[in-house]
Amino acid sequence: MIENLQKTLGDNETLQIFNEIPLVLVRPWASIFFMMLFYLTTDSLLAFKSALITSFGYFILTVLKLLYKDGRPFWVSKEIVGYSCRFDFGGPSYHLYTLVTFWVYNVVMY
């Protein structure tokens, strides 16, 4: 699927930048920034609880990544171009975890 999508869309830099925006918001360093921002500007107890849950989850995901050793798609296929992918293991995903636990939890609670 990724190969076909990249072949269809081509090397479109505007599309890459547009797709990068939501990915930046769910990266661990960005969510840690928002954890501190929520703690300083809103209900500190609620921000502390969400930061504790998210940080513990990052620990669990790091352990699972080391156990699963699930490669990224551009490792498996030479046709896939990785634009901003890191050279760590791909799954389970920090992005999905951050989206579900940190952002959805905070939207529901606030």
**pLDDT value, residue 81:** 62
Model confidence, pTM: 0.64
Query: Are 94 and 58 in contact, with CB atoms under 8 Å apart?
Result: yes
**pLDDT value, residue 5:** 72
Closest Cα to residue 57, out of 109, 100, 108, 107?
100
Along the 110 residues of the chain, how does pLDDT read in single tens digits? 666 776 777 767 777 777 777 777 777 788 888 888 888 898 888 888 888 888 888 888 888 877 877 666 555 666 766 666 666 666 677 778 888 888 888 888 88
